[in-house]
Amino acid sequence: MSDLTLSPTRLDFAPLHAAMQEIVDGELLAGVSSAVLQGRDLIDLHCTGWADREQQIALRPDHLFRMYSSTKLITSCAVLLLMEDGKLGLDDPIERFIPQLGHRQVLRPGATSLGDTEPARSPITVRHLLTHSAGLGYGLLDPGTLLYQAFIDAGVRDHTTSLAHMIDLLESLPLAFHPGTSWEYSIATDVLGRLVEVVSGQPFDVFLSARIFKPLGMVDTGFMIPSAQRSRLVAYYRGASLTKPLKPGLTRVDDIPYAGAFEKAATRLSGGGGLVSTLPDTLALIRSLIPGGPTLLRPETLSLMMQSHLPQGVYTGFPKPVIGKSFGLGGAVSLSASSIDPPDSVGEFQWGGMAGTHWWINPRRGLAGIVMGQRDTAFWHPFSFAMKQAVYQAAA
């Protein structure tokens, strides 16, 4: 667990706390936790609202959260550790380790069937997987597309199957575009989880525990919650409207991502979204990616991680690209500030999860932040931008 000792600061975070309280009072989140780092120093830690609104259990720093796609940062770090070990390179073709993903076919522009393909112009590389530029789909955020239905029909995201089985299912599916030419959020980070297993010779969870969780003291992070700790899992809620994220109202939904999730050893060790964690553990991870003390990765690797790795003019975003948002090795990179970003957020490395957990690091400004809620479909929800706006304003 990360050290939660607050360092003295002259910055005023009362507006941040007020903004988060307003989010709770407005029934957009049941509860929300946040932390702010200046350099590696923790300068603010705040929890407000409820871990369980119905039972009136106040949110504490030690409560467990469904991390969903915040898991991707940890998986990306695992791959980069193997790179530092000399066991793989960013531009290694993936078929060197996972033969099933070699010799890919790519859907032609305007294709109306899965068979309307052409050979890939280049192999998928490790870098492509880390940056979601491999051409893989997800069966999650792209409804109406050929690959969305193909991933659903094939059961690619079936949590009852192993990572190895997932790779077998991907073998026959085409790519959405030629590797390295575009960006699409995808199953790529789950593929990286399997890559870690193949290259390290260890189950994915064993590798994460040995190389990341234990060294960083992340005692509450994993794919399963011990029975004695299940009461610490924050309740899960759905907003009143998917298309109107600021419409008040929350409905409790307990069986997401599926009934009994995290209660027993997972078959699918999802590197893309399978972990649970706490604010202190996430803080320990983020702190380990900031120079000025012991770091999980070498300084040169951290610098590489937080750079843009997409071709010029290719951006990330949902449902359409956000100009100025590129992608590094495991998170988005802000090349310019969007209309809802703090103006001084250029250079930020950040991502989050569908359940409302978000993290960001700005090496240029020496600031980092974490904000954690539990609301379905809350990635890049306005509350996360409100948190960042308040932090940057306090540090102006």
Which DSSP string corresponds to 267-331?
A: SS--TTT--EEEHHHHHHHHHTTSSSS--SS-HHHHHHHTS--SPTT----SSS--TTEEE-SSS
175, 136 Cβ separation under 8 angstroms = yes
42, 4 Cβ separation under 8 angstroms = yes
Q: Which of 160, 175, 204 is the last residue before a domain boundary?
A: 204
The pLDDT assigned to 66 comes to 98
Give yes or no: residues 173 and 229 share one domain: no
Is 1 part of any domain?
Answer: no
Copy the structure tokens of residue 249.
């109202």
The pLDDT assigned to 142 comes to 81
48, 31 Cβ separation under 8 angstroms = yes
Is 45 part of any domain?
Answer: yes
Q: Residue with structure tokens 């399978």?
A: 274
The pLDDT assigned to 235 comes to 97
Question: What letter does residue 211 receive in the DSSP assignment?
Answer: I
Q: What is the number of helices (H) and of strands (E) in the chain?
A: 11, 14
Give yes or no: residues 52 and 128 share one domain: no
pLDDT tens over the chain, length 396 residues: 567 999 999 999 999 999 999 999 999 999 999 999 999 999 999 999 999 999 999 999 999 999 999 999 999 999 999 999 999 999 999 999 999 999 999 999 999 999 999 999 999 999 999 999 999 999 988 888 999 999 999 999 999 999 999 999 999 999 999 999 999 999 999 999 999 999 999 999 999 999 999 999 999 999 999 999 999 999 999 999 999 999 999 999 988 888 889 999 999 999 999 999 999 999 999 999 999 999 999 999 999 999 999 999 999 998 889 999 999 999 999 999 988 899 999 999 999 999 999 999 999 999 999 999 999 999 999 999 999 999 999 999
What are the residues facing 46 on neighbouring strands?
Answer: 34
Give yes or no: residues 347 and 366 share one domain: yes
The pLDDT assigned to 254 comes to 87
Full-model pTM: 0.97
CA dihedral 317, 320, 324, 330 (to 10 degrees): 20
Give yes or no: residues 167 and 304 share one domain: no
CATH of the domain at 158: 3.40.710.10
Is 285 part of any domain?
Answer: yes
Is 298 part of any domain?
Answer: yes
Give yes or no: residues 179 and 234 share one domain: no
Residue type, 171: E
Q: How many domains does the chain have?
A: 2
Other Cβ atoms within 10 Å of 299 Cβ, number: 9
Residues in the chain: 396
Give yes or no: residues 250 and 335 share one domain: yes
Give yes or no: residues 283 and 313 share one domain: yes
3-class state of residue 117 by DSSP: strand
195, 75 Cβ separation under 8 angstroms = no
- Which residues form the domain of 43? 14-65+224-265+275-394
The pLDDT assigned to 143 comes to 87
Give yes or no: residues 29 and 141 share one domain: no
Give yes or no: residues 53 and 159 share one domain: no
